[in-house]
Structures are given as structure tokens and as C-alpha cells.
Amino acid sequence: MKKKSHYQAEIAGTGIYLPEKILTNADLEKTLDTSDEWIRTRTGIQERRIAQKDESSSTLGAHAAKNTLNAAGMTPDELDMIIVCTSTPDVLYPSTACFVQKNLGASKAAAYDISAVCSGFVFGLSIAEQYIKSGRYENVMVIGAEVNSRIMDWTDRKTCILFGDGAGAVIVKRVEKEEPIGILSSHIYSDGNHSDMLIVPGGIGREPVNREAVDNKMYCLKMAGQSTFKMAVKRMTEVSRECLEFNGLSTEDVDVVIPHQANRRIIETVSEKLNMSIDKFFINIHKYGNTSAASIPIALHEARESGRLESGALSLLTVLGAGITWGAAAIRW
């Protein structure tokens, strides 16, 4: 048997699922003091997907998971672990991952949620990487699934124009190869000193659910936009450089950057800071808005389907989310 150091964490399959309902900027013009031009020029967003009443993070996640299994040619009983990255869980408990597990019939898998908001998928990928490279598990499903529309204040044009619903997933598979392939490394960080920058202040731990909190929309997203913008550019740039340097790589080695799709201007500024052509950045924010933890896996799948992630290609993932949390990962395809 080869040494565990020869275990690589390869991406065996990707998949997505998006609600059918589309909410355009023109639709938002009817209820908000905003315009299509205002939204597009400041964010790059043209439309976003909105979950139906019978849809939730678990149903979106399960659909994405099934599509991923089909792409990988695998069955649910081959999964050792299911990690659902979400900040909009179906219920307080049990975990959304358990609902996904039931839907898939993946009875042999451990299933649990993690919450790192927009950074969730990269955090989940990092967890999967460790389990795979240690030799403990063979197949780990990582899902990013969100129904952000459920926590929006639809009268607040600063936030509700930005977010959408959707799910994306990957299967991280153990392979035994000498050459580096799959997830080369992942780098994740948090700084709770900035926890109020992006927050849904209502909860049950500090204060029970009450009518006043609901009426005051404390269960809706609150965001300090300018501070978040500056922090995203700073941290995404720093962690991208760290990830590349860790692997002895440069920006010239990167074929495709898969950034968190929060704001096109953030992506463009990160591109400038890294001195990389914007053409290397895969951008789909115009179609979906910010889908939080689902953002990167959706973009990853679409980049792969478009032919930009062929065998041997190097992709760089980079993200910042509430917490604040941030991270990056390098993947060799």
C-alpha cells in the first residue's frame, strides 16, 4: 500500500440546481426606488433566481447532489460524507444535510452542516480535503445551497438587489497518484472582530424569537456595504497570493479564477490587485446575483461545462463572507 501522502483529493464530479423563477432588475424597479441601470453599473447583476414555496436549501441541494452523482457516474451509497454549506438551513435542527441524505438515500454517509456564509463552500472543501488526503474517506460530497430570498428585507434596496437562490455541489474523491492533482491546498481564515459587518441579528441563543424582533426585521440580512467591499478586496487578494505561493505557483500559472460572485466591481478590483487579466476570471453574477455558499460551486460547474477547466488546468478559488470569513483553494484538473 502506498503512503497516505500519495492520496490526492480529486474533483470527481460537479453539479448545480437553480430555481426556475427569475427575478429581473426590471421586476425590482416596480417595488423599489432603483433602476436596472443603477443595479447593473454598481453590481453587475441583471437577474437572480428565487426559490418557490415548496423549495428549500435541502431540496435545491439534493437536486444539485443528484446531478453531481450522475456526472461522476456514482451512486449515493458510495458517499462517505455529505457536507452542506448553508446559512439558510431548512430548520434550526436537524441539519439540512440530513434532509439531503434522506432525499438521496445515502444511508452510509455522515451528514452535517457548516456555516461560514459565502465562504462556506471553500471551508467545506477544506474539510473534505483533509478527510480524503488522510485516507479516512474515499468520497465526500460538498454542497453549497442557499435560499437567500427568505432572509431578505425586500424594502431595503441596498441588500435585496444583491442576492439570489441556488445550489452547487462537488464530489471530492480519493485517488492514489504521485503527481499533485485535485485540491492542491486550501487556506481558510476568520476574524470575529468584524462579525457585525454582515449579520442576521435575530436568533434564539441570545434572545428568544419574539414579535418585536420579527416586526423590526431582525431576521433579515443587515450589511455594511462599503466596509464589506474593502474587506473583500483586501482579504481575497491576500489569500489568493498565499495559496499560490504555498504551492510554488504564480498568477501566470493560473488558467481560471473562480471568485465569489458578490459584486462585479469587487472581482474587477481583485483582478487589478493581483495584476491578472479579468479574462482569467469566470463571472456569472449577471445571471444569479450573490448565492452565498452556492456561488463558487455554481461558477465552478459552469466553468467546467464551458470547457475552461480541461485536464491539467489550474483553477484558483477565492472568497470572503460574513464572520468575517475568507479563503482560497487551488485545484489542478
Q: Is the pLDDT of residue 5 over 70?
A: no
pLDDT in tens, 303-316: 999 999 999 999 99
Mean pLDDT calculated for residue range 91-107: 97
Q: What is the pLDDT of residue 6?
A: 85
Structural domains of the chain ordered from first start? 4-176 (3.40.47.10), 182-332 (3.40.47.10)
pLDDT tier for residue 3 given thresholds of 50, 70 and 90:
very low
Q: What is the pLDDT of residue 203?
A: 85
Mean pLDDT calculated for residue range 270-278: 98
Mean pLDDT, the chain, whole residue set: 96
Q: Is the pLDDT of residue 76 over 50?
A: yes
**Closest C-alpha to 290, from 256, 317, 331, 320:** 320
Answer for the pair 293, 148: CB distance below 8 angstroms, yes or no. Answer: no
Answer for the pair 295, 162: CB distance below 8 angstroms, yes or no. Answer: no
Choose between 208 and 22: higher pLDDT: 22
Q: What is the pLDDT of residue 1?
A: 37
Q: Is the pLDDT of residue 11 over 60?
A: yes
pLDDT tier for residue 48 given thresholds of 50, 70 and 90:
very high
Mean pLDDT calculated for residue range 257-279: 98
Q: What is the pLDDT of residue 276?
A: 98
Q: Which residues of 29-62 are buried (b: 16+ CB within 10 A; e: fewer)?
A: eeebebebebbeeebbbbbbbbbeeebbbbbbbb
Q: What is the pLDDT of residue 206?
A: 87
Q: Is the pLDDT of residue 250 over 60?
A: yes
pLDDT in tens, 136-171: 999 999 999 999 999 999 999 999 999 999 999 999
Q: Is the pLDDT of residue 4 over 70?
A: no
Cβ-in-10-Å burial (0-12, 13-18, 19+) of 219 comes to middle
Mean pLDDT calculated for residue range 7-15: 98
Q: What is the pLDDT of residue 207?
A: 87
Mean pLDDT calculated for residue range 72-86: 98
Q: What is the pLDDT of residue 204?
A: 86
Answer for the pair 197, 228: CB distance below 8 angstroms, yes or no. Answer: yes
Give the residue numbers marked as catalytic.
118, 260, 290
Q: What percent of the chain has pLDDT over 90?
A: 95
Give the integer Cα–Cα distance in Å for 36 and 25.
5
Mean pLDDT calculated for residue range 326-332: 98
